[in-house]
Structure 1
Amino acid sequence: MDTTFPRLLLQHAAERPDAPAMREKEFGIWQTLGWRALAQMVEQAACGLHAAGLRPGEHLAVVGANRPRLYACMLAAQALGAIPVPLYQDAVAAEFVYPLSNAEVRLCVVEDQEQVDKMLEVRGQYPALERIWYDDPRGLRHYRERGLASVADLLQQGAARAAQAPGFFAERVAAGRSGDVAAMFFTSGTTGNPKGVVHTHASLLDRARAGAAFDRLTAAEEVLAYLPPAWIGQNIFSYAQWLACGYVVNCPESAATVGIDLKEIGPTYYFAPPRVFEGLLTSVMIRMEDAGRFKRWLFQRCLALARRVGPARMDGRPVGALDRLRYALGDLLVYGPLRNTLGFSRVRVAYTAGEAIGPDLFAFYRAIGINLKQLYGSTETAVFVCLQPDHQVRADTVGIPIDGVEIRVADNGEILVRSAGLLQCYYKNPEATAEVLTADGWYHTSDAGFLDASGHLKIIDRVKDVGRLQGGANDGAMFAPKYVENKLKFFPYIKEAVAYGDGRATVCVMLNIDFEAVGNWAERRGLPYAGYTDLAGKPEVYELMRECVEQVNADLAQDAMLAGNQVSRFLVLHKELDADDNELTRTNKVRRGFIAEKYRVLVDALYGGKAEQYVETQVRFEDGRSGSVSATLRIVDARTFAPVRRAA
């Protein structure tokens, strides 16, 4: 179908003008915007941007959280044949210079004073940035910078232009074609500069509709848009599928109110990376540890039942009458109230992606009646490649190829994908495009995996990260660092893990504690601490980490292929890994190579048999200041286990 996002907007506005399109929470009250009102806002924004000089094929940067007027500006740019480029709002000013200059951006729309300040700072290195419009005027009353104005002013000027040329907007929308470029998303840049991934209306809508058909999504769905719009996962769920299906997108008041807003909205369709689900479970476990003895006993008994019975119920397998009765009682006393506390009481479909999720974490949510599933995709594939069908959900797979997708496994184990949802190209980077797209349309994912006997895809790790152990008892054994890291991160006390072992005889890891979870654990034991660095170095905390590591080792020993990946030594880092320090990407993926170089002295100490190592690290604070953190870190041996031999 030859359609575009602005055309779909006008279609919804014509067919159900007063139905809610978006809600935004402001000053504690949800404000509803209907489809007709949204279409009028988009028309005003389009006329205003055209008057400001935005032309077809030009890029408009959009920086901020999910806000109706920012969405309207993206739609307005698309209506004019221009290309919105959403950027991560938590990036520092220096990180904007490359994408803005690469995309030759002259005009941008931002959320608030924080983003305005960054853009004004960017102008020092990129003076071509001419116009900056802001949505939230707080703190900006006395700013008198060149080309700075509010979105409200833009809409007002656009309304006047629209009145003078009433047919302009409709003509521009009608001129758009599905093959036109719809958006550009910059990759997280785990190595080198980020790449601009170019997508057309056709590629994004093809995958949005395929995903919607797979899970039978309708206009009745409610979605909470709280993740960065620059992440294609959020964009596809709250923008592409929103316009394809016509459901309601709800924008939280702020990052601090997401938990409350989640309960108030009660979304029916939910998406979050594993880190969010880990954080929610950690908060639940912390609260239960502080509960009274009876509540803890009841929770543990009901949870044990849920883990035994719940997954079978979710998968449609038979459950005994007595277990059904017990589960119903547990649902009344524990599971139902817990789902409500989490904000998942109305969730019909919940997805996680971006990183592998721990099997126990995955099973927990399904056990208490939440239809949590995994999907597989990337920025370059417009997200939807594989999805898990209801009643065919397994923790160790990412589902089956959905409609319109072909999958092939290369000789080296790399997954190749072909579909109508693939990127058009990497912007201004034909060499990188040629590396990932073959002449016959196959995309190289860089992920290693295989299709199992039931047609489900299993992902092992990144192709470049899968290595081999060399020397010692496990010489030649496969090394899958991400697999080890994900198993460690299931524990609520471990926030991040970085594993090394390629070309080595053993596997060693660096850990980050979860400050909230471990802090609560320490307080209940009367263990004083003066901050993250002090807490992370406590002998008691090291023993807690050792228990977690050795439990993972015991699990790995059960798998003949991965038994050699058991962790022999570990340390707890003196600071949290941070995107501002370039240790994580903006999507919170570990930059393993960068960390190995930055903390080379620690890697050498792990493999050099040292019992401790002094380290001093430069850090960047939230206010932009720089400083340093130093500590002498302990290095601890962990017990490993003989591989379990399965009977023939």
Structure 2
Amino acid sequence: MRTTFPKLLQEHAARRPDAPAMREKEYGIWQTTSWRRMSERVSHIAGGLHQLGLQRGEHLIIVGANRPSLYATMLAAQTLGAIPVALYQDAAAPECVFPINNTEVRFAVVEDQEQVDKMLEIREQCPQLAQILFDDARGLRNYDEPGLAGLAEIEAAGAIFAREHPDFFQEEIDKGQPEDVAAMFFTSGTTGNPKGVVHTHFTLLNRAEVGARFDRLDSREEVLAYLPPAWIGQNIFSYSQWLACGYVVNCPESASTVTIDLKEIGPTYYFAPPRVFEGLLTSVMIRMEDAGAIKRAMFHHFMKVAEKVGPALMDGKQVGLLDRLHYGLGKLLVYGPLRNTLGLSRVRVAYTAGEAIGPDLFRFYRSLGINLKQLYGSTETAVFVCLQPDHEARADTVGVPCEGVEIKLSDSGEILVKSPGLLKEYYKNEKATREVLSDDGWYHTSDAGFIDASGHLKIIDRVKDVGRIQGGEHDGAMFAPKYVENKLKFFSHIKEVVAFGDRRDRVCVMINIDFDSVGNWAERRNLPYAGYTDLAQKPQVYELIRECVEKVNADLSRDELLAGSQVSRFLVLHKELDADDGELTRTNKVRRGFIGEKYAVLLDALYDGKSEQYIETQVKFEDGRTGKVNATLRLMDAKTFAAMKQAA
């Protein structure tokens, strides 16, 4: 698509001025913004930012949840040739210092008082940060800081400027070119400072249009924008494809109302990482366990029918008349109401990505008639590299290369990608750019995988994480930690896993239980507990988790290549892994190296064969205070199985 974001906005405003562009839920009521009104707001905000001195090529920080005002600000910045950089709204203040200083930001546009306080806290470390503009004025009436102003004031001043300079907005839009930088996204920074991934209007819109064509998206789609705008996946689905297709983006009232808002909107095009789908399923199963005997029996009966018939129907395969009728009855009594309860009754296309999704979880949603598919991509590739066609959705692959994409494997098994959606560069980091982009245009993904016989891409793990077992009965065997972690996380009782084993004689893991799921399991068995730490160390919980670990081991034993990755010992951590404690990235990826160092005493105890180990850990609370959690952790052995030889 040879155009820019502001030009697409103008096209929609001209062709469909009164059609809804965005909706925002405020005080329980959905407020609609038309394409004409969105264009007016962008014009006025652009005029206000111009008067404040925002320059072409300059960066502007945006921090907040999905809000029409912040989307309009991104478009206004792009209109002026500036580059919006969204940061995670749940990031601690010190985490914002590097991105702001790295991009020499003078302007920050934030959502509310919480984000204003963050910017003021780090202002001494970011002396160039001159303007802090806020969208929600609640709690800010008595703030008196230089450069602090409401976005509404800037918009009002811009409206006056627009009347006095009626041609300014269009002239600025016309200056923009597809090859201009449109946005920058910071990586999660698992091994150091995050890197700024630079994308142009062309790279983002090209991938957005390819994805739209693949799934036949149009202006009639409804999308719920509830994931962090700083994540490129959210940007593609709720910004790039929004402008490419002209569909309606809906912004929930708050994080706590997303489930309710999902039901009210009934999106037709939906994206969620696996943990969201896991959470939805966990809530369903908890409710069913608490239901009456008749309703519970009916649910389990028809879910067996769905498991047998549903995926075949989704894949366009022939199904017998009796099975079809039985499934139809289940749709009336169970599947339809359940989809409605989940807020997915109108979904035509649903995607998941970021982590592997469990086969059972994947089949569950598809058996209900929800067209759930997987995709493969990254920040550097503007998301869309591989997509799963309808009728070819599988839990163990991530789809086929989409339009314009070439894939090949290096000698080490690393996936290399050539695509029109590749990053322009890492900002101010030529060395890192050269490491991932070859002279002939191939991007090194750092993922290990292969193309299977049906042309689908299968991911094994990160290349750097694939290791070898040294010593013991599996000496020299491949160790794929992410593969092991994901297989364990497929169980609803397990929320997070950290696997260790590279250059060791066996594999050991640290586990976080899912507090809601295991808590409900304990309550049904009249097992008392006093919080996460107490529940995590219950002998009954350890037995529950051991069963999950041994099921995974049995499954791994059937794969001759990965049989050595079976888990020999495990423990359940006394606290949940948390981004605020540095254990996860802001995109909830495990920082395995950091955890290995932080919990070295536990790791040593696992490999030394101890049965218990005392630990005291410092934690950070949401209000910034710190405290300590201590516990004596149980360490348990798990049964492993002899590798099964593959048939010749």
Per the normalisation by structure 2, the TM-score is 0.99
Does 1:339 find its partner at 2:371? no
Q: Secondary structure at the match of 1:635?
A: strand
Which range is displaced more, 529-538 or 240-249? 529-538
Letter in 2 for 1:542: Y
Pairing 1:117-156 to 2, within 5 Å after superposition: 117-156=117-156
Distance 1:200 1:353 in 2: 23
Show CA shifts across 1:584-639 (max 9, x none): 00000000111001111111111110101111111110000111111110000011
Amino acid across the alignment from 1:420: P
Query: 1:175 and 1:541 mapped to 2: Cα distance?
Result: 62
> Which residue is 1:222 aligned to?
222
Counterpart check, 1:202 vs 2:202: yes
Q: In 2, Cα distance between the equivalents of 1:428 and 1:481?
A: 32
Q: For 1:123 and 1:155, how far apart are their aligned partners in 2? A: 24
- Number of the residue aligned with 2:8: 8
Separation (CA, whole Å) in 1 of partners of 2:68 and 2:349: 24
Partner of 2:99: 99
Partners of 1:553 and 1:330 in 2: CA distance = 35
Cα offset, 1:646, TM superposition: 4.4
Correspondences of 1:264-283 after superposition (within 5 Å): 264-283=264-283
Aligned-residue offset at 1:116: 0.4
Secondary structure at 1:486 match in 2 = helix
Which residue number in structure 2 is paired with residue 307 of structure 1? 307
Instruction: Give 1:550's aligned residue.
Output: 550
Please name the residue that 1:82 is paired with: 82
Match of 1:444 in 2: 444
Matched, 1:494 2:500: no
Distance 2:125 2:614 in 1: 37
The one-letter amino acid of 1:357's match is I
Alignment match, 1:521: 521
* SS state at 2:390 partner: coil
After the TM superposition, which residues 411-422 of structure 1 pair with which residues of structure 2 at under 5 Å, given as runs?
Answer: 411-422=411-422
Give the equivalent residue in structure 2 for 1:248.
Answer: 248
Per-residue CA deviation, residues 323-368 of structure 1 (Å, 9 max, x unaligned), is 1111111111111111111100000000001111111111111111
Aligned to 1:476: 476
Corresponding residue for 1:116? Answer: 116
Separation (CA, whole Å) in 2 of partners of 1:373 and 1:473: 39
Q: SS in structure 2 opposite 1:48?
A: helix
Query: What residue number does 2:349 align with?
Result: 349
- Which residue in 1 is equivalent to 2:604? 604
Can you list the C-alpha shifts for 1:543-592, whole angstroms capped at 9, x where unaligned? 11111111111221222222221111000000000000110000000001
After TM superposition, the structure 1 stretch with the greater mean CA deviation from structure 2, 206-215 or 543-552, is: 543-552
- CA–CA distance in 2 between the matches of 1:445 and 1:61? 27
Q: Which residue of 1 aligns with 2:627?
A: 627
Separation in 1, partners of 2:115, 2:418? 38
Q: Is 1:233 matched with 2:233? A: yes
Amino acid at match of 1:243: L
Code of the aligned partner of 1:109 = V
Take 1:383 and 1:646, find their aligned partners in 2: how far apart are those partners?
Answer: 36
Query: Is the counterpart of residue 385 in structure 1 residue 401 in structure 2?
Result: no
Q: Which residue of 1 aligns with 2:536?
A: 536
AA matched with 1:328: G
SS in 1 for 2:62: strand
Deviations 1:67-112 (A, max 9, x none): 0000000000000000000000000100000000000000010001
> Residue type matched to 2:643 in 1?
P
Partner residue in 2 for 1:262: 262
Q: Which residue of 2 aligns with 1:161?
A: 161
Q: Which amino acid aligns with 1:292?
A: G
Offset at 1:21?
Answer: 0.2
The residue aligned with 1:638 is 638
RMSD (CA atoms) = 0.8
Question: Does the residue aligned with 2:553 lie in a helix, a strand or coil?
Answer: helix
Residues 351-390 of structure 1: CA distance to partner in whole angstroms, max 9, x if unpaired? 0011111111111111111100000000000000000000
Unaligned runs of 5+ in 1: none
Provide, for residues 200-233 of structure 1, a one-character-per-residue CA deviation record: whole Å limited to 9, x for no partner: 0000001000100000100000000000000000
C-alpha distance in 1 between matches for 2:399 and 2:642 = 32
CA distance in 2, matches of 1:625, 1:124: 21
What is the percent sequence identity of the aligned residues? Answer: 75
Q: Structure 1: how far apart are the matches of 2:78 and 2:355?
A: 31
Cα displacement (A) at 1:642: 2.1
Q: Which residue of 1 aligns with 2:594?
A: 594
The residue type paired with residue 180 of structure 2 is: D
The residue type paired with residue 592 of structure 2 is: R
Deviation at 1:644, TM superposition (A): 2.9
Q: Report the 3-state secondary structure (helix = DSSP H, G, I; strand = E; otherwise coil) of the residue aligned with 1:124.
A: helix
Normalized against structure 1, the TM-score is what? 0.99
Mapped partners of 1:320, 1:565: distance in 2: 41
**Most deviating of 78-87 and 471-480:** 471-480
Give the deviation of 1:140 after TM superposition. 0.9
Mapped partners of 2:314, 2:643: distance in 1: 33
Q: What SS does the aligned partner of 1:520 have?
A: helix
Q: Which residue does the alignment assign to 1:322?
A: 322
Partner of residue 463, structure 1: 463
State the distance in 2 between where 1:321 and 1:628 align.
62
> Which amino acid in the other structure matches residue 410 of structure 2?
A
Aligned to 1:285: 285
Tell me the residue number matched to 1:176.
176
Give 1:645 deviation, angstroms: 3.6
Q: Name the SS of the counterpart of 2:311 in structure 1.
A: helix
3-state SS in 1 of match to 2:464: coil
Distance 2:646 2:174 in 1: 65
Distance 1:198-1:647 versus aligned 2 partners, 3 A rule: closer
Q: Partner of 1:432 in structure 2?
A: 432
Higher mean C-alpha displacement, 377-386 vs 481-490: 481-490
Tell me whether 638-647 or 389-398 shows the greater mean CA deviation.
Answer: 638-647
**Residue in structure 2 matched with residue 359 of structure 1 by the alignment:** 359
Deviation, structure 1 residue 279: 0.7
Matching residue of 1:34: 34
Which position in structure 1 is the counterpart of 2:49?
49
The residue type paired with residue 592 of structure 1 is R
Distance 2:301 2:501 in 1: 40
Q: Deviations over 1:427-447 (max 9, x none)?
A: 000000000000111000000
* SS of residue matched to 1:464: helix
Amino acid aligned to 1:282: T
Q: Distance in 1 between matches of 2:377 and 2:62?
A: 24
Distance in 2 between residues matched to 1:298 and 1:640, nearest whole Å: 37
Partner Cα distance (1:52, 1:205) in 2? 29
Letter aligned with residue 499 of structure 1:
A
Q: Using the TM superposition, give the Cα deviation of residue 184 of structure 1 relative to its aligned residue in structure 2, in angstroms.
A: 0.3
What is the SS of the residue equivalent to 1:33? strand
- Residues in 2 aligned to 1:241 and 1:359: alpha-carbon distance in whole angstroms: 29
Write the distance in 2 (CA, Å) between the matches of 1:263 and 1:110: 28
Pairs aligned (count): 648
In 2, Cα distance between the equivalents of 1:217 and 1:391? 17
Match of 1:583 in 2: 583
- Paired amino acid for 2:55: R
Q: Measure, in 1, the Cα distance between the counterparts of 2:469 and 2:276.
A: 32
Aligned-pair CA distance for 1:185? 0.3
Q: Which amino acid aligns with 2:133?
A: W
Secondary structure of the residue that 1:78 maps to in structure 2?
A: helix
Cα offset, 1:2, TM superposition: 3.1
SS of alignment partner, residue 48 of structure 2: helix
Shift of 1:647: 4.2
Deviation at 1:121, TM superposition (A): 0.3
Corresponding position of 2:73: 73
